[in-house]
Amino acid sequence: MRQRPVIGIPTQTLQSIDRIPEDLPASWVMNQRYFLACTSVGAIPWMVPLLENDPETLRGIYERLDGVFIAGGVDVDPASYGAERHQLCGRTDLARDYVELMFARWALEDGKPVMGVCRGQQVINVAAGGTLVQDCAELFPGAIKHDYFPGAGWARDHLAHEIRIAPGSRLQAALGDTAMVNSMHHQAIDRLGDGLAATAWAPDGLVEALEGTREGQFLVGVQWHPEMLIDSDAGTRKLFEDFIEAANQFHDANSLAFA
Ligand SMILES: N[C@@H](CCC(=O)NCCCC(=O)O)C(=O)O
């Protein structure tokens, strides 16, 4: 029987989240939805601690993974893409930036499958040398509303706008030419990183998905939240299944290489 692939999901610092009481112990946490999406398509999700002072242990964890999933969350520190902090840039989590950028760069180098959601797409772009728009409403000309945040009363599965998907992309194979997506972000892709191609756009032209151009690697980032749609949308489930299948293949290819 085939082994279930192991997918690493870096956590976030509890105290980086708004309104967390200061007297709670320093903790690393992550939204359950990402783990449930992975198990529902057959993967074993593995929470990755933010051991920012221990790259050796992080490398040990990374090497045991068949794929990396980079989840949604707070803004990426603009210093990591060489920009001054804009006043509308929100809360950041330096330990998370460190671990996620390192895992994304290692995976880009190794061809290990990567899927990124919302902040995760932004992290992939920064890891590949790209930059971010620090606030779409203020800094992206003609921007439609993208910040349907739960804190303002929007449901996490609220379908906010359509996206147009590039022909021939992995995304098109799963979702088709267009799709309706939920939207919980205020930042976005600005300059694309090396080896990446935009594969979906919002009606205002904002990049809604990117993929790696390296032959054979599954490297997909999306600006929306498919983990909230996996139970209601067959195309979204297919996208997760494709990621897990790529992780399976990576596992098989690498165990054969070391056999
Ligand atoms: N900070 C970035 C990324 C947005 C993001 O990942 N949002 C996640 C919200 C998830 C939730 O509350 O369920 C930006 O705003 O662009």
Q: What is the pLDDT of residues 189-220, one digit of tens each?
A: 999 999 999 999 999 999 999 999 999 999 99
User: CA 82, CA 99: separation in Å to the nearest integer?
Assistant: 18
Whether residue 150 has its Cβ less than 6 Å from ligand 1: yes
Sign of CA dihedral 153, 220, 128, 163: negative
State in Å: Cα 89 to ligand 1 middle. Answer: 12
Taking only the tens place, the pLDDT of each residue in 241-259 is: 999 999 999 999 998 666 5
Catalytic choice (118, 136, 208, 211): 118
Decide if the complex's ipTM is over 0.90: yes
**235 lies in some domain:** yes
Burial category of 234 from C-beta neighbours within 10 Å (exposed 0-12, middle 13-18, buried 19 and up): exposed
pLDDT of 179 reads 98
* H-run or E-run covering 46: strand 44-48
User: CA 50, CA 32: separation in Å to the nearest integer?
Assistant: 17
- Whether 1 has a pLDDT exceeding 70, the answer reads no
Q: Residue 105 phi/psi, 5° resolution?
A: -65, -40
Total domains in the fold of the chain: 1
- The fraction of the chain above a pLDDT of 70, given in percent, is 98
- Whether 147 has a pLDDT exceeding 60, the answer reads yes
Taking only the tens place, the pLDDT of each residue in 11-33 is: 999 999 999 998 999 999 999 99
Q: Whole domain around residue 97: which residue ranges?
A: 6-258
Q: How far is CA 161 from CA 61, 132, 135, 140, 158, in A?
A: 37, 21, 18, 17, 9
**149 lies in some domain:** yes
pLDDT band at 142 (very low <50, low <70, confident <90, very high): very high
Both structure tokens of 41: 């398509």
**206 lies in some domain:** yes
Is 211 a catalytic site residue? no
pLDDT of 259 reads 57
* Residue whose CA is at the smallest distance from ligand 1 atom 12: 150
pLDDT of 135 reads 98
**1 lies in some domain:** no
pLDDT of 2 reads 74
**50 lies in some domain:** yes
pLDDT of 56 reads 98
**64 lies in some domain:** yes
Taking only the tens place, the pLDDT of each residue in 90-135 is: 999 999 999 999 999 999 999 999 999 999 999 999 999 999 999 9
We report the CATH number of the domain holding residue 128 as 3.40.50.880
Segments in 46-87 forming alpha helices (H): 55-63
Whether residue 5 has its Cβ less than 6 Å from ligand 1: no
118-145: buried (b, 16+ CB within 10 Å) or exposed (e) per residue? Answer: bbbbbbbbbbbebbbbbbbeeebeebee
Is 225 a catalytic site residue? yes
